[in-house]
Amino acid sequence: MTVTRSVIRGCGSHLPSRLVTNEELAKTVDTTDEWITSRTGIKQRYLVGDDELTSDLAFGAANAALEQAGMTPDDIDLIVLATTSADETFPATATTLQARLGMDHGFAFDIQAVCSGFVYALSTADSFLATGKAKAALVVGAESFSKLLDWDDRGTCVLFGDGAGAVVLEAQPGEGTNADRGIIATKLHSDGRLHDALYVDGGPSSTQTTGKVRMKGKEVFRHAVENLASVVREVLDEAGMTMDDIDWLVPHQANKRILDATARRLNFDPDKIVVTVDRHANTSAASVPLALAEAVGDGRIQPGHLVLMEAMGGGFTWGACLARW
Ligand code: UT7
């Protein structure tokens, strides 16, 4: 029996136009470029303006991904959009994107898994395609995360940025050159007991406000390295592969020190890690597809390459996805 594979047809990204360097931030926040750089590797971030919405970023990334795929919105019948910073409490930002793309067919919904959102969205879309419930999916990670920041909390506000990235997945028969193309394996986890380490102190049913990000940084850091290394091993085991098979690791971009520590645990060559945290900061659900789009755009990721994506975020949630480009 021929299996169905979710083949990645294209990817794209969109960043807001306002670039804010560490030096600029240090004019209004009690911090320094030296502290931010040495603790996180972040040098700058892009932030949305007052009138720029998460759906605007998602729309830019979706169009770029469709163009690279050589497809149009007519070809898409599923949109899965990962975000923590939806335009509105409802409806889903995915349906706003659907309307902006001029689609009057298919179905669209949001996924909320904070920084792991894109990996959750990829895994979800892959399941719809594998079971024949959709033919082609736009999978988007889009965030205006800066709108959730407490600018008086220097321990969090310097860490995050805004942006969006997207990929187009198409269901194709897994035979011939397609036999091992597309998404090979995914693994997702969550542990709600760790809520207090990273959360937003508001919401429709608790405070009727949006709330601001609260984080116990050291606790998140420790769990991130542990959980990311173990979920990577799980997804590789499921596929019968090892780190030696991986061409590119595309991790969630929270902190350069987390990327380095995870790579050391996995005994992985740091030159094969796609790093954007220095320029984008932590863009939550957008960070993995932003990094993917950069590495595909500059020719590092080539057809046939084995790409491993991983992420961890509030919840806690974490997961990994292995794909053949
Ligand atoms: O996507 C998942 C989400 N988040 C993460 O992955 C974040 C994981 N955690 C981290 O990346 C790190 O824990 C941080 C970068 C957030 C913090 O680094 P740290 O080495 O754990 O620093 P710390 O929180 O222990 O703070 C050390 C010092 C403190 O001063 P004292 O108490 O030692 O005098 C802080 O007040 O650094 C101070 N500090 C700052 N100083 C200048 C905290 N934030 C800043 C700042 N500028 N922005």
Q: What tens digit of pLDDT does each residue of 60-90 get?
A: 999 999 999 999 999 999 999 999 999 999 9
Any ligand 1 atom below 6 A from CB of 285: no
- 134 or 3, which is more confident? 134
**pTM across the whole model:** 0.97
Contact indicator for 234, 240 with CB cutoff of 8 Å: no
Which residue from 50, 264, 35, 261 is spatially nearest to 159, judged by alpha carbons? 35
* Domains annotated on the chain, with CATH: 3-174 (3.40.47.10), 182-324 (3.40.47.10)
Nearest CA to ligand 1 atom 35: 155
Any ligand 1 atom below 6 A from CB of 221: yes
Active site (annotated) includes residue 267 = no
pLDDT tens digits, 212-266: 999 999 999 999 999 999 999 999 999 999 999 999 999 999 999 999 999 999 9
Backbone phi, psi, residue 208, to 5°: 60, 25
- 2 or 9, which is more confident? 9
Query: pLDDT > 90: what percent of the chain?
Result: 97
pLDDT tens digits, 87-125: 999 999 999 999 999 999 999 999 999 999 999 999 999
- Torsion sign across C-alpha atoms 286, 291, 297, 303: negative
Q: Looking at the predicted structure, is the pLDDT value of residue 178 above 80?
A: no
Query: pLDDT > 70: what percent of the chain?
Result: 100
Any ligand 1 atom below 6 A from CB of 155: yes
pLDDT value of residue 215: 98
Average pLDDT over residues 32-52: 97
pLDDT value of residue 265: 95
Active site (annotated) includes residue 252 = yes
Q: Looking at the predicted structure, is the pLDDT value of residue 176 above 90?
A: no
Ligand 1 centroid–CA 274 distance in Å is 23
What does the block give as tokens for 13?
């990204």
pLDDT value of residue 174: 85
Expressed in percent and rounded to 5, the helix, strand and coil fractions of the chain are 40, 25, 35
